[in-house]
Amino acid sequence: MAAETERIRRLHALLAAELATATATARGVLGTPAGEELSARWERDVSAHRWSERASALAAARSGLCFGRLDHTDGSTSYIGRIGLTDPSDSESALIDWRAPAAQPFYCATLATPLGMIRRRHFQLAGTAPEERVHTFHDDVLDRAALTDADSESASDPALLAALTAPRGSTMRDIVTTIQAEQDAIIRLPLSGAVVIEGGPGTGKTAVALHRVAYLLYTHRERLARSGVLVVGPSAGFIRYVGGVLPALGESAVVFTTPGRLALGVVATEVDQDDVSRTKGGLGMLDVLRRAVADRQELPGSPIRIELDDVTVEIDRDTAAEAGRRARATGLPHNAARATFRDALGGLLVGQGVERLSGDLADPPELADILRELGEELPEIAPPAQVTAQLRHELRDDLRSDLGFHAAVDRLWPSLTPEQVLGDLFTSPDRLASAGADAALYRAKGAAWTVADAPLLDELAELLGPLPGSSAEPREPDSAYAAEVLSILEAADRQIAGEDPDELRPTDFVTADMLAARQVPDELKSVAERAAADRDWRYGHLVVDEAQELSAMDWHVLLRRCPSRSITAVGDLAQRSAASGAHEWADVLAPHLGSRWTYRTLTVNYRTPSEIMSLAATVLAEFAPDRQPPESVRATGEDPWQLTVSRTDVRTAVETEEARSGRGTLAVIADDVDGLAGLGAEVHTPVSAKGLEFDAVVIVDPERIRARNPADLYVSMTRATQRLGLLHLER
């Protein structure tokens, strides 16, 4: 133990030296003038970013720096930790990053398949960096010849059991020290393609998804560090719970969001009735929204008269229809096409005005009367071309300043926001009928946005585009800078991916114009900051947790953000709560991916003790008898308790369990949380508890939850890591 502690202290010294170098280099690069050449500016920015990233990763790795060792059959030894370190004195690898291929035997080697190893050692550390020390260690002997009876009897992993029985906190911990073989195999799947990972409660789906992100950012750094990763979780509470895992692993190019935030600037938490949620979640809403936008491109019921200085022109249905046809032919979103509509309409009205004025010039009535009295024919007079051009110029000027013309444009082709279109649609039976929408979508004005509204608002943002003059409109581009940046990116991609024409690269989805529009010379932001503020950002990888809850519309707007279709989706169909969610994975994935996705399963329950899981399995059998519950790896010897009390005694019963919980976390889960405020425990509904875990859980009125949705009771029962109580109410 003393020797291993000395080794770990030496690793901390190497880390401290490299951290100091990285920090100083990053500051030095930022303080160096880049010169006028575009390539020099680019190289300075990239260099500063990379050194800053390295410094952040090193700082994050200090706690629990080294957690394992591998002894190879050739006599060499490798140490496994949170980050890779090299000893400059001999240029040898002093510490192997847990994501590196060389570290894989630490997670996957077995006695039957030793992968060239004779021993695996797990460290349990004590103290704080840089004074960490080995408190204890456990060896897995992987060489049958060296196996003793004591080794055979000690098949359990003390590090894993210690992690499973440790009190839970307010945030999720990483699992780099205890990743199991079936989890590691999924974590290391290739970047390309979509993978669905299904597993019951406690199988580590979320942890696997997050560690897969860290692995992909390690193995595809050049790609994903520029484009970032989008992680979608079921609730804000869930995001707070898991949000620290990736920063603790030194990764920051990640944006977290929820289905209720899929529309930029909207935070929706309200939930629709099941029938409304199903309707909004279906892809049929795409046609409804298109028709709703088209309905706002109106034709006048009667001609609109525009009185100019010298002539009166009229906007009739044919004139407005022709201007609308020209605007739609541009293929631009509604708000961007409005300028074309305005200009086309103005051009048609100018032509109409010229025609009327030219007629007056060609046939002056006073002269005609005089010539008829003299018995002479009136010669045909046509205005000269310069007169016609002058007329057009004057009429255009008149129209530009005419308030009536601009009011007509606003009426026939108004500037619109997604909130305006969707709000007007849902509060008008006539608009719903015109758009071919279900009348059940009607609601009163002023109603809050719901989670199912968020993807609809995002789709409308796609159909409408930004308002003219808004901050979301493209800035004046630095096209020269962007073109050079793109050439550098493409060269880097060729080095990474080779010249295979079938290999997808980030630059397949990037143009110089896009880069120019994103370039903000005086403002350096992280990838995550820029991506979170940019609705049009395209991510390199998409992670969806509790994926069974997402509707087809959710998937539609999410996949627009990830054109490469590099996806990790984790979930459990048996835990579905949302009416618009997936009954089968193909229901929501096939419309977008066809059959081009891979399916994997996790089968071992690391969270829930067998006593609790046995009771939860009886609930699972009621509503999903074809589903196999995951197998728990441990037992506590404590069965779930059940108690029947009056409503007035609920708080007392909860406080009793709270006192028993001590320093551990306690959650109260109820379908109706009214009256439960003020408890020391966290209070959740079954839906808000999804994806979370606690040392102890008390479920209030489980029969009410079962009656509404037995899957929610199953979810609630499997949140506990130690104790579960069912608090029945007297009827």
- Rg (alpha carbons) of the chain, rounded to whole number: 33
pLDDT of res. 352: 93
One-letter amino acid of 19: L
Residue 507 has pLDDT above 60, yes or no: no
Residue 374 has pLDDT above 90, yes or no: no
Please give the share of the chain, as a percent, with pLDDT higher than 70: 86
Pick the closest to residue 364 from 344, 378, 345, 374 (CA basis): 378
pTM: 0.86
Residue 499 has pLDDT above 50, yes or no: no
Cα distances (Å, whole numbers) of residue 366 to 361, 377, 380: 11, 14, 15
Residue 426 has pLDDT above 90, yes or no: yes
Pairing of strands 117-126, 254-257: unpaired
pLDDT of res. 498: 47
Residue 486 has pLDDT above 80, yes or no: no
- Rounded average pLDDT over 351-359: 86
Helices (H) and strands (E) in the chain, counts: 29, 21
Helix (H) or strand (E) holding 529: helix 527-532
Residue 378 has pLDDT above 60, yes or no: no
DSSP sequence for 125-170: EES-TTS-EEEEEEEEE--GGG--HHHHH--S-HHHHHHHHSPP-S
Which letter, b or e, does each residue of 468-496 get, where b requires 16 or more Cβ atoms within 10 Å of its Cβ?
eeeeeeeeebbeebbebbbeebeebbeee
Confidence of residue 365 (pLDDT cuts 50, 70, 90): low
**Which region among 94-108, 392-406, 667-681 has the lowest average model confidence (pLDDT)?**
667-681
> Which is higher by pLDDT, 369 or 715?
715
- Rounded average pLDDT over 173-180: 92
Confidence of residue 527 (pLDDT cuts 50, 70, 90): confident
Structure tokens at 718: 């499997």
DSSP sequence for 703-731: HHHHHH-HHHHHHHHTTEEEEEEEEEE--
DSSP sequence for 666-693: EEEEES--TT-TT-SSEEE-TTTTTT--
Structure tokens at 53: 């990233």
Residue 727 has pLDDT above 90, yes or no: yes
- Rounded average pLDDT over 10-36: 88
CB atoms within 10 A of CB 500: 9
Torsion of CA 458, 464, 470, 474, to 10 degrees: 90
One-letter amino acid of 368: A
- With beta carbons less than 8 A apart as the criterion, state whether 277 and 578 touch: yes
By residue count, the chain amounts to 731
pLDDT of res. 382: 53
Q: Is the dihedral of CA 644, 647, 653, 658 positive or negative?
A: positive
- Rounded average pLDDT over 524-548: 91
**Which region among 56-60, 216-220, 511-515, 532-536 has the lowest average model confidence (pLDDT)?**
511-515
DSSP sequence for 555-585: HHHHHHT-TT--EEEEE-GGG---TTS-SSH
- pLDDT tens per residue, range 177-193: 999 999 999 999 999 99
- Rounded average pLDDT over 24-30: 88
- With beta carbons less than 8 A apart as the criterion, state whether 543 and 213 touch: yes
One-letter amino acid of 628: Q
Helix (H) or strand (E) holding 454: helix 453-464
pLDDT of res. 502: 37
**Which region among 43-52, 232-241, 348-357, 553-562 has the lowest average model confidence (pLDDT)?**
43-52
Give whichever of 221-230, 372-381, 559-568 has the largest mean pLDDT.
559-568
Residue 687 has pLDDT above 50, yes or no: yes
3-class DSSP assignment, residue 315: strand
DSSP sequence for 494-509: HHHHTT-TTS--GGGG
Checking 146-155 for CB contacts under 8 A at 24+ apart, the result is 146/118, 146/119, 147/111
Confidence of residue 387 (pLDDT cuts 50, 70, 90): low
Report d(CA 610, CA 631) in Å as an integer: 8
Cα distances (Å, whole numbers) of residue 475 to 330, 439, 470, 521: 21, 41, 10, 12
pLDDT of res. 473: 58
Residue 694 neighbours by CB under 8 Å, 6+ apart:
168, 664, 665, 666, 667, 682, 719, 720, 721
Residue 513 has pLDDT above 50, yes or no: no
Residue 308 has pLDDT above 50, yes or no: yes
> Which is higher by pLDDT, 388 or 570?
570
3-class DSSP assignment, residue 596: coil
pLDDT of res. 375: 61
- With beta carbons less than 8 A apart as the criterion, state whether 463 and 290 touch: yes
Pick the closest to residue 608 from 619, 596, 598, 616 (CA basis): 616
- With beta carbons less than 8 A apart as the criterion, state whether 603 and 199 touch: yes
- Rounded average pLDDT over 154-175: 79
pLDDT of res. 362: 52
Say which residue the tokens 């940019």 belong to. Answer: 534
pLDDT of res. 557: 96
pLDDT of res. 496: 38
Residue 29 neighbours by CB under 8 Å, 6+ apart:
44, 47, 48, 51
Residue 477 has pLDDT above 80, yes or no: no
pLDDT of res. 369: 62
Angle between helices 285-295 and 453-464 (to 10 degrees): 50
**Which region among 162-171, 453-462, 611-620, 644-653 has the lowest average model confidence (pLDDT)?**
162-171
Residue 511 has pLDDT above 50, yes or no: no
pLDDT of res. 470: 72
Q: What is the mean pLDDT of the chain?
A: 88
Confidence of residue 552 (pLDDT cuts 50, 70, 90): very high
Residue 350 neighbours by CB under 8 Å, 6+ apart:
392, 395, 396, 399
pLDDT of res. 516: 46
pLDDT of res. 383: 59
pLDDT of res. 480: 54
Q: What does the DSSP 8-state code read for residue 349?
A: H
Q: What does the DSSP 8-state code read for residue 647?
A: G
C-alpha 75, offset from chain centre = 46
Report d(CA 36, CA 175) in Å as an integer: 47
